[in-house]
Structure 1
Amino acid sequence: MVDLTSHPFNLDDAGVEWVETMLASLSLEEKIGQLFINLNTSFEPSYLDNVLDNYHVGGMRYMGADSITVQNHIRYAQSKSKVPLLIASNPEMGGAGSINDGTLVTTHLGAGSHPDASIAHDLGYVGGRETAALGCNWAFAPIVDIHYNWRNTVIGTRSFGNTPEVVIERAKAYFDGLSKTGSAAAMKHFPGDGVDERDQHVVTTYNTLDYDAWNSTYGRVYRELIDHGVQSIMVGHIGAPGLSRHFRPGIADSEIMPATLAPELLQDLLRGELGFNGLILTDASAMIGMTQAMKRKDLVPAAIAAGCDMFLFFRNADEDFQYMLDGYRSGVITEQRLHDALRRILGLKASIGLHTIPRDQLVPGPEALEVIGSDEHIAIAAAVADKNVTLVKDTQNNLPLSPETHKRIRLYGISGQADFTGTDPSGFVDIARQELESAGFEVHVFRDAVQRKADGEEGVYFHTVMADEANEQYAEKYDAAIIFANVTGFAQEATVRIHWSTPMAAEIPWYVTELPTIFVSLAQPNHLIDVPMVKTVIHSYAPSREAIAATVAKITGASEFTGTFNDNVWCDTFGTRL
């Protein structure tokens, strides 16, 4: 059972009294509602009225929008809720991703790819400061997965690195920066992603380390971050057969559940051996990694019964609320388990002061939004980019390139599909063109067959584009080729790789034998599996103007490369180092 006076809640007598008084005031339906975190899919007040009046949710996360819209939305929600709400955000890259106008500082990978751990601190600080200005008080970060398997792309850019040491150091620094803004943290994704190559958005994945190996790696990460003060843990839809068998000898393969539904992982390991006293929440409950395990009516209450305290997102609000209520009434969720979860939920709210802050002050005024995208935060992003941009290889000694020696640049932009945020992944190409032109280059942007057809050209096919592009005049028209790749999507497929516009597409680096060619990744670290022929490869970690500007400065030799990389970049494949 929870101890609200202990780490990480550390409540005084008044805080404990508020929790108990509030708990006693709740009806059964209000208690059930506190277990849910809603994903707000509308900014209309009538929508929030329905969610709060009928489902009594304990927390919310909103869909992306501009900061003014989001802040007004949160203000209205807090004014209408009987119990102060946990308002969650996803500040994994800074303010970007939580709001449309937020600052993109870098990715977790970027924050782990330089000797300076303060980058991770600044990432947490900017993200926390910008989301706190909106009225958010709970960050679904830091990510403490270890990127062991280079084929795993769901955390390819979202992990600090491939060793427990770098993950521990940078996650602590991120947490410290975030904590300065008053937000609670939810580290993720227990029991740890990065071993399986697949993505739990589309399939149940597995951490297949045995008990001893897990304890010396992921277990070490969780122990140290728990001791460091992290208040909550998001559990992934990730099974751990070695751990389940350790706590449940003889368990059948068919009985091994994702951690969100596995009491041996949540209660025996996380609560028991790791001693975590804070709040446990599920990852998004519509992910197939969870839904493939059992029927929805069973898994909703089973997650709370197994040891989760909050359930992330309704699939259908009427159905899920009823499933949870039925699970309590049938005894799947015991009275003791329900009240333990509620005390942790209310305790987290009290630990960040929601019980003492006047209701009309839970969300700051519009003037607070001035920090979002501010000059100060942009300067931090620029300084981070200057440190981070990494030269992976330059085996042909193509660098530096200058307008004096390589004036005419053929520029290629490689995009992935948009992820579930709907963000356009192709806007970086124009930024790259602008930054190269500002540096003095003459830039010629390649357009593939799909783009040319969209502009109304007729009779364009991939082989006609190749004929136009690949001929002996190529080296007469251009002095160098630069490819910028922003392949960012996840949660769309089990892996993320470069998808060329067509077979034998003209943008595939056939031209490496003709001109100095530079490949710049703005996202995933594993692109050498698809472009091993390129002799000069740079990682920039973000599709922001600051990262692209820093990259161009380093390409021209105006700034030195200081970023680092780990061996995942070689994709465990012959030829990528050549």
Structure 2
Amino acid sequence: MVNLKAKPFNLSNEDITWVETTIDSMTIEEKIGQLFINLGYRHDQEYLKDILEKYHIGGVRYNPNNAETIYEQNKYLQENSKIPLLIAANVESGGNGACTDGTLIGTHIQIGATKDPQYAYQLGYVSGVEGAAIGCNWSFAPVVDINYNWRNPVTMTRCFSDKPEVVLDMSEAYFKGICKSGFAAAMKHFPGDGVDERDHHLLTSVNTLSCEEWDQTYGKVYHGMIEAGVHSVMIGHIKLPAYSRRLNPNLTDAEILPATLSPELVTGLLRDKLGFNGLVLTDASAMLGLTSAMKRSDILPHTIAAGCDMFLFFNDPEEDFSFMMDGYKNGIITEQRLTDALKRILGLKASLGLHNKQRAGTLVPPISALSVIGCETHKAIAREVADQSITLVKQTRAELPLKPETHRRIMLYVLGDDLVFFGQKQQGVKDIIVEELEKVGFEVTLFVPQTAQIAQVKQESAENKQAPVAVQRFKREKVSIFTNSFDAVILFANVQEFAQANYARIKWSSPMSSEIPWYVTSLPTVFVSLHNPFHLYDVPMVKTYINAYAPTRTVIQETIKKILGESSFKGQCEVDAFCGLWDTRI
């Protein structure tokens, strides 16, 4: 059972009295409601009022929007909720995870490349300060996964390193930074992503390490963070067969469940063996790693029975609430398990002082606090992180620097246009790259794939109500025309397949298309990855390869400075960017 006087709660007798009397005063509907973290699809008061009054939610994470919209949402929620809410944000990379105009400080892999935990601290601190300004109080970060498998499409930029000790150092620093702003933190994704190459958004992935291997890697990280006092743990839809079998030798292969549904892993490993006393929540409940395990009517109560305290996201609020209530009435969720979960939920709220802030009317700060969002101080930190992290992974031919004085005419290829973080689509990255290259004096020709040309012609023909003009496909030109027209080639890749495919690899616009790097033997060629740090696997022929880790204007600007030779490369990649191959190093 929970000990509210011990870490991570550290509650006083007065705080514990509030927790216990609040639970005693609740109806069963209110108790069941506290188990849910709602995904806020809308920000209008009619929707928010309905969710609060019908389902009595314990927490919320919301769809992204600008700071003022989220501020007004959170203000309404806290002013109209009987019990103060945990309001979470995915601030893995900075304040941009709390609101679209927040500051992206750096992805986890980018912070790892600085080799300096002070930047992980700054990431946590800025994330918390900007999140708190709009009324958030809970971070779904740090990510404490370990990047063991370069093929994994989830972990590529969301891990600090492929070394447990580095992951722990950076995670502890992030935790200290975000705690300074009054936030709680949820480390994720227990029992650990990064071994399997598959995405647990799309299926139940598997951590195949032995118990001994897990203890020395993921176990080391989790134990260290628990000792540091981390408040909560997000459970991934990931199987850990070795420990499931050790803790329950009678399990058949078919009975081994994702951690979210596994009492062996949540209660046996996390609670009993590692001694975690804090709050446990599930990962998103729409992910196939969970939904394919059993019927949804069984999933909801069985996650709580397994030892999770909160359930992340309704599918349909009315139906899911009913499923959870039925699980309680049918005894899947025992009275003791429900009470224990409620004590942890309210205990976390009390540890943040939410009950006292509710009395004082300070759950959400004054609107003047929004001035910190995207402020110049935070932007300066983001620029410093970019400068310190961008990595020259490979240069086996002297092609840098490229300057307008010597290589004015640039052929530019951009793979993946949208700047996307957790569904936040912003300005196309192609436009930013062209603007920044031209700003420093390059003459840029942006490659337009023939598929895009054909679509444009069709659109223009439709708008003008004319028959479509024929476009010649797969037209080749003389190599000499290409080499006489350009002085160098720069290729930027922003390839992201988050929660959409079990890979994040380069896909060229057409078979044997002209943007494929045939030109590396003819012109100086620089390849820059703005996301996946493992693209050398697909382009081993390039001689100059840069990992920049995030598709932001700041990162692009700092990368161009380094291509120009105006700034040195300082970053050191915290993963094997060569993917274990010999030919990627040539």
Contact 1:417 1:489 (8 Å CA) reproduced: no
**Corresponding position of 2:71:** 71
**Corresponding position of 2:370:** 369
Q: Distance in 2 between matches of 1:488 and 1:330?
A: 43
**Corresponding position of 1:399:** 400
- CA offsets, 1:322-362, max 9 Å, x none? 11100001100000000000000000000011010135321
The structure-2 alpha-carbon separation of the partners of 1:422 and 1:267, relative to structure 1 and needing over 3 Å to count, comes to: closer
Identity, % of aligned pairs?
Answer: 54
Question: Structure 2: 5+ residue runs without aligned partners?
Answer: 459-468
Letter in 2 for 1:494: N
**Corresponding position of 1:573:** 581
Q: Distance in 2 between matches of 1:462 and 1:371?
A: 51
**Corresponding position of 2:432:** 431
Letter in 2 for 1:522: L
**Corresponding position of 2:486:** 478
Letter in 1 for 2:474: H
- CA offsets, 1:255-296, max 9 Å, x none? 100000000111111000100000000000110000111000
SS of the residue aligned with 1:481? Answer: strand
**Corresponding position of 1:544:** 552
**Corresponding position of 1:45:** 45
Of residues 502, 505, 508 in structure 2, which corresponds to 1:494?
502
SS of the residue aligned with 1:84? Answer: coil
> CA offset at residue 98 of structure 1?
2.6
Contact 2:64 2:424 (8 Å CA) reproduced: no
**Corresponding position of 1:94:** 94
> CA offset at residue 472 of structure 1?
1.7
Is 1:124 aligned to 2:113, yes or no? no
Q: Distance in 1 between matches of 2:393 and 2:573?
A: 7
Q: Distance in 1 between matches of 2:8 and 2:422?
A: 32
Contact 1:37 1:313 (8 Å CA) reproduced: yes
Q: Distance in 2 between matches of 1:374 and 1:72?
A: 20
Contact 1:200 1:289 (8 Å CA) reproduced: yes
Q: Distance in 2 between matches of 1:358 and 1:306?
A: 32
Letter in 1 for 2:486: Y
Q: Distance in 2 between matches of 1:222 and 1:73?
A: 34
The structure-2 alpha-carbon separation of the partners of 1:209 and 1:461, relative to structure 1 and needing over 3 Å to count, comes to: farther
**Corresponding position of 1:293:** 293
SS of the residue aligned with 2:95? Answer: coil
> CA offset at residue 97 of structure 1?
3.1
The structure-2 alpha-carbon separation of the partners of 1:91 and 1:528, relative to structure 1 and needing over 3 Å to count, comes to: same
Is 1:441 aligned to 2:442, yes or no? yes
> CA offset at residue 363 of structure 1?
1.0
Is 1:460 aligned to 2:471, yes or no? yes
**Corresponding position of 1:529:** 537
SS of the residue aligned with 2:96? Answer: coil
Contact 2:193 2:207 (8 Å CA) reproduced: yes
> CA offset at residue 319 of structure 1?
1.0
**Corresponding position of 1:518:** 526
TM-score by length of 1: 0.97
**Corresponding position of 1:505:** 513
Contact 2:94 2:104 (8 Å CA) reproduced: yes
Q: Distance in 1 between matches of 2:472 and 2:532?
A: 29
Q: Distance in 2 between matches of 1:306 and 1:420?
A: 32
Q: Which stretch has the larger CA shift, 443-452 or 365-374?
A: 443-452
Contact 2:108 2:159 (8 Å CA) reproduced: yes
Q: Distance in 2 between matches of 1:96 and 1:17?
A: 37
Q: Distance in 2 between matches of 1:243 and 1:84?
A: 37
State the Cα RMSD in Å: 1.5
Q: Distance in 1 between matches of 2:280 and 2:530?
A: 33
Q: Distance in 1 between matches of 2:256 and 2:447?
A: 50
Is 1:318 aligned to 2:334, yes or no? no
Q: Distance in 1 between matches of 2:184 and 2:24?
A: 25
- CA offsets, 1:202-222, max 9 Å, x none? 000011111111001000000
Q: Distance in 1 between matches of 2:293 and 2:426?
A: 33
> CA offset at residue 79 of structure 1?
1.0
SS of the residue aligned with 1:361? Answer: coil
> CA offset at residue 416 of structure 1?
6.7
Contact 2:70 2:134 (8 Å CA) reproduced: yes
- CA offsets, 1:101-130, max 9 Å, x none? 111111000011122221111111111111
Letter in 1 for 2:435: Q
Map 1:297-312 → 2, pairs under 5 A: 297-312=297-312
> CA offset at residue 563 of structure 1?
0.2
Contact 1:416 1:425 (8 Å CA) reproduced: no
Is 1:115 aligned to 2:115, yes or no? yes
Q: Distance in 2 between matches of 1:127 and 1:499?
A: 33
Q: Distance in 2 between matches of 1:29 and 1:4?
A: 24
**Corresponding position of 2:217:** 217
Is 1:268 aligned to 2:268, yes or no? yes
Question: Structure 1: 5+ residue runs without aligned partners?
Answer: none
The structure-2 alpha-carbon separation of the partners of 1:487 and 1:283, relative to structure 1 and needing over 3 Å to count, comes to: same
- CA offsets, 1:530-571, max 9 Å, x none? 111111000111111111111111111111111001452112
Q: Distance in 1 between matches of 2:553 and 2:118?
A: 21
Q: Distance in 1 between matches of 2:151 and 2:472?
A: 32
Q: Distance in 2 between matches of 1:501 and 1:543?
A: 20
Q: Distance in 2 between matches of 1:294 and 1:390?
A: 44
Q: Distance in 1 between matches of 2:512 and 2:403?
A: 30
Q: Distance in 1 between matches of 2:529 and 2:65?
A: 27
Letter in 1 for 2:409: R
Q: Distance in 2 between matches of 1:530 and 1:88?
A: 37
SS of the residue aligned with 2:424? Answer: coil
SS of the residue aligned with 1:570? Answer: coil
SS of the residue aligned with 1:153? Answer: coil
TM-score by length of 2: 0.96
SS of the residue aligned with 1:473? Answer: helix
**Corresponding position of 2:171:** 171
> CA offset at residue 233 of structure 1?
0.2
Q: Distance in 2 between matches of 1:463 and 1:54?
A: 59
SS of the residue aligned with 1:197? Answer: coil
**Corresponding position of 2:562:** 554
Letter in 2 for 1:549: Q
SS of the residue aligned with 2:560? Answer: helix
Q: Distance in 1 between matches of 2:225 and 2:505?
A: 32
> CA offset at residue 476 of structure 1?
0.7
Q: Distance in 1 between matches of 2:5 and 2:416?
A: 50
**Corresponding position of 2:339:** 339
- CA offsets, 1:71-118, max 9 Å, x none? 101111111111000000001110123321111111000011122221
Letter in 1 for 2:304: I
Is 1:243 aligned to 2:243, yes or no? yes
Q: Distance in 1 between matches of 2:575 and 2:349?
A: 41
Q: Distance in 2 between matches of 1:180 and 1:56?
A: 29
Contact 2:161 2:575 (8 Å CA) reproduced: no
Q: Distance in 1 between matches of 2:171 and 2:366?
A: 30
SS of the residue aligned with 1:357? Answer: helix
> CA offset at residue 486 of structure 1?
1.0
Is 1:181 aligned to 2:181, yes or no? yes
Is 1:134 aligned to 2:134, yes or no? yes
Contact 2:200 2:238 (8 Å CA) reproduced: yes
Aligned length: 575
The structure-2 alpha-carbon separation of the partners of 1:535 and 1:42, relative to structure 1 and needing over 3 Å to count, comes to: same
Letter in 2 for 1:166: V
> CA offset at residue 461 of structure 1?
5.3
Q: Which stretch has the larger CA shift, 563-572 or 539-548?
A: 563-572
